[in-house]
Amino acid sequence: MNIGVIIPLVIFLIGIFAIGFIASKQMSGEGGFLQQYFLGGRELGGFVLAMTMVATYGSASSFLGGPGTAYTVGFGWILLAMTQVVTGYFVLLILGKKFAILGRKYNAVTMIDFLKARYNSPLVAILSAIAIIVFLFSAMTAQWVGGGRLIESLTGLQYTTALFIFAISVLVYVTIGGFRAVALTDAVQGAVMVVGTLVLLIGVIIAGGGVPAIMQDLINENPRLVTPYGADGTLTAAYVSSFWILVGVGVVGLPQMAVRAMSYKSSRAMHRALVIGTIVTGFIMLNMHLIGVFARPIMPGIDIGDKVIPLVALEVLPPWLAGIVLAAPMAAIMSTVDSLLLLVSSAIVKDVYLNFIKPEASETTVKRMSFGVTGILGIIVFLLALQPPELLIFLNLFAFGGLEAAFIWPVVLGLYWKYGNKYGAIFSMITGIAAYIAIHFYNTANGNLLGVHTVTLPVLLSLAAYIIGSLAVKREAYQF
Amino acid sequence: MTRKQTNPAQATDPRFKIAHREAIIGIVLAIFNFIWWFGFAYGLGSRPPEEYTYIWGLPDWFFYSCVLGFIIMCILVIVITKFVLKEVPLDVDPSNTDQPKEGPAKQ
């Protein structure tokens, strides 16, 4: 492998490391250790808030898997990817100021804290904690595998060594720096993602001889590549539209996004983040997937989707520039993993240990627990990622859509509907997850039910469950 | 069982009215976004590919739906953020929300 590619990557890793370390020094005592460690003391400004939301949300699939599919499917897949622009403004506008105000009022550090206070129910808290720990733990492991594989393919190191480098670089800054380190490194990683996207887009267009030439090549190969229906004409409008739920509006229900929606300093910061978040999300999604399609005439015949972006970057750019560009998918994976690691850790320390096991634990104990749990979790994930067990791969399939179906209504209607209560919330979470798993099996066996993505029906069913559960058992208005 | 929160402000917090309005703005934006995206993509894109025209080298349905649509959403978000959304204090003590000025002017 080319040493020119490796040097920028190494500089990137060292840079991230340094920022995480500096952030850990800034942890002030204000607001207590938990607020500082798991929520950055609610002090995020607009730019950092926007970037940590985009970077947490943008993962391996935005930079490797998605563009790889666009390479195979054509413009239809870019159309699908653009459903994600909505997340840039929707999450912050919907959870909005009410979530931030109530979060402060309830003194909530995690999304589960909010649910527990809103529904005044330990059962809601424990169910949520289990869902988060199980699903996000699996999702995190899958991303670590992706990170290890990426380093492996770029450097030619062995997978174990590559994974080790990846694990150490993430683990150290998350463990010692907490949320603020995660958010600050996310901001840098987000910036790397934007720059990488732009450079690679320009490189690909030049290599392809301009957009019209690329388009002509695509039409000559298969005119369907430039239609919204995919290379084989099977991408239906209903299926593509259902991604508005999975990767669009449903993202409101993801705990890693929700916790960010209560971490900002002021409504001014939130306003800035709305604008920056929308622009950056759209920019990355549009251009990365365009690159995937444009890569097709330049480098035909790539079988493995995940390899399209690394291969095309190495093909069209000088090695040192390719190294900078390929730091972008690395940044995307790291910024997702660091948030998930901290979130799972907060679910264990704050939501399980402090809520149910030892509420009277001293500040020192909590501190030791937080560092310890985060570190140990990281080591477990590393060991599992060496040889991912079948069960984890299986659970990861449900992580995204399952969590959305479980949490979207308890969070959103918990904020805005005064008759929502714990019976509705519990019924909704169980229905959402159970329906997701059931429909997943149905769809795998029989093709997509009603031609839409698995997530669609569970989200609707959990809405019905929330309303029925809330009104049927005990109809009582909640005083916010 | 009684699980009424003891709320210092008896009437609904005035900040929530603003928050509710802004959540509705979010829904309206998303619906507009969806209609624009869907309308151009499948309205123009369902013609046979030979009939497509190309803007900046991109197929017309894609340009209007995804490129122009994205730019329009950015402009809308900027305009709404600047002129419609209201700044409110987020702190627990809502006693002086009616005078939104900087500095913790309490007690």
In a domain, B67, yes or no: yes
Mean pLDDT across B49-67: 96
Model confidence pLDDT, tens digit, residues A133-167: 999 988 888 888 888 888 888 888 888 998 888 88
Grade residue B99 by pLDDT with cuts at 50, 70 and 90.
very low
- B22 inside 8 A of chain A by CB: yes
Contact A267 B58 (CB under 8 A): no
Amino acid at A253: G
Domain boundaries, chain A: 3-389
- Scan residues 41-80 of B and list those with Cβ closer than 8 Å to A: 41-42, 45-46, 49-50, 52, 54, 56-59, 61-62, 65-67, 69-70, 73-74, 77-78
DSSP 8-state assignment for residue B54 = E
Interface contact flag, B87 A226, Cβ < 8 Å: no
Residues of B in contact with A267 (CB under 8 A): 85-90
Residue B69 lies in a domain: yes
Say if the Cβ atoms of A93 and B42 lie within 8 Å.
Answer: no
Q: Is the pLDDT of residue B97 over 80?
A: no
Chain B environment of A294 (Cβ under 8 Å): none
Looking at CA atoms only, how far is residue A261 from chain B in angstroms? 12
Q: Report the mean per-residue pLDDT for chain A.
A: 91
Does the structure show a pLDDT above 50 at B2?
no
DSSP letters for A11-53: HHHHHHHHHHHHHHHT--STT-HHHHHHHGGG-B-HHHHHHHH
pLDDT at A437: 92
Please tell me which of the candidates B3, B15, B42 has its beta carbon nearest to residue A228. B42
Interface contact A480-B50, CB threshold 8 A? no
Question: Is a pLDDT exceeding 70 seen at residue A1?
Answer: no
CB of A477 less than 8 A from some CB of B: no
pLDDT in the model for residue A28: 63
Stretch A231-241: mean pLDDT? 94
Of A215, A241, A480, the CB nearest to B54: A215
> Is the model's pLDDT at B105 over the cut of 60?
no
CB A480 within 8 A of CB A418: yes
Residue B76 lies in a domain: yes
- Coil vs helix vs strand at B101: coil
Number of CB pairs, chain A paired with chain B, less than 8 A apart = 143
State yes or no: pLDDT of B6 exceeds 60: no
Look at B57 and A214 and tell me if their CB atoms are within 8 Å.
yes
Domain presence at residue B88: no
Higher confidence at residue B104 or residue B39? B39
Structure tokens at A253: 């229900």
Report d(CA A121, CA B2) in Å as an integer: 13
pLDDT, position A29: 59
Give the confidence band of A10 by pLDDT, cuts at 50, 70, 90.
confident
Q: What percent of chain A has pLDDT over 90?
A: 66
Q: Decide if A156 contacts A397 (C-beta within 8 A).
A: no
User: Total domain count for chain B?
Assistant: 1
Domain of B47? Answer: 14-83
Q: What residues in B contact A237, CB-CB < 8 Å?
A: 38, 41-42
Instruction: State the pLDDT at residue B9.
Output: 45
Q: Which fold has domain A3-389?
A: Sodium/glucose cotransporter (1.20.1730)
Averaged pLDDT, A330-340: 90
Q: Is residue B77 part of a domain?
A: yes
Residue of B nearest to A233 (CA): B46
**Closest CA–CA distance from residue B14 to any residue of chain A (Å):** 11
Q: Please state the rounded mean pLDDT for residues A274-296.
A: 96
pLDDT tens, A412-426?
999 999 999 999 999
Residue B101 domain-assigned? no
Average of per-residue pLDDT across A456-472: 96
Helix (H, G, I), strand (E, B) or coil at A263: coil
- Check CB contact of A82 with chain B, cutoff 8 Å: yes
DSSP state of A64: I
Weakest mean pLDDT among A28-42, A91-105, B48-62: A28-42
CB spacing of B66 vs A78 below 8 angstroms: yes
Helix and strand element counts for chain A (H, E): 20, 0
**A461 pLDDT above the threshold of 90:** yes
Is B90 domain-assigned? no
> For all residues of chain B together, what is the average pLDDT?
83
Residues A67-74 have a mean pLDDT of 95
Q: Which of A9-23, A230-244, A437-451 has the lowest mean pLDDT?
A: A9-23
> To 10 degrees, the CA torsion angle through A212, A311, A182, A376?
150
Q: Please give the structure tokens belonging to residue A177.
A: 């720096």
pLDDT at residue A162, rounded to an integer: 87
Confidence check: pLDDT of B11 > 70: no
The tokens describing B62, both together, are: 């894609």
Determine contact: A83 vs chain B, CB below 8 A.
Answer: yes
Residue A52 exposed, middle or buried by CB count within 10 Å (0-12, 13-18, 19+): buried
Q: How confident is the model at residue B106 (pLDDT cuts 50, 70, 90)?
A: very low
Complex confidence, ipTM:
0.91
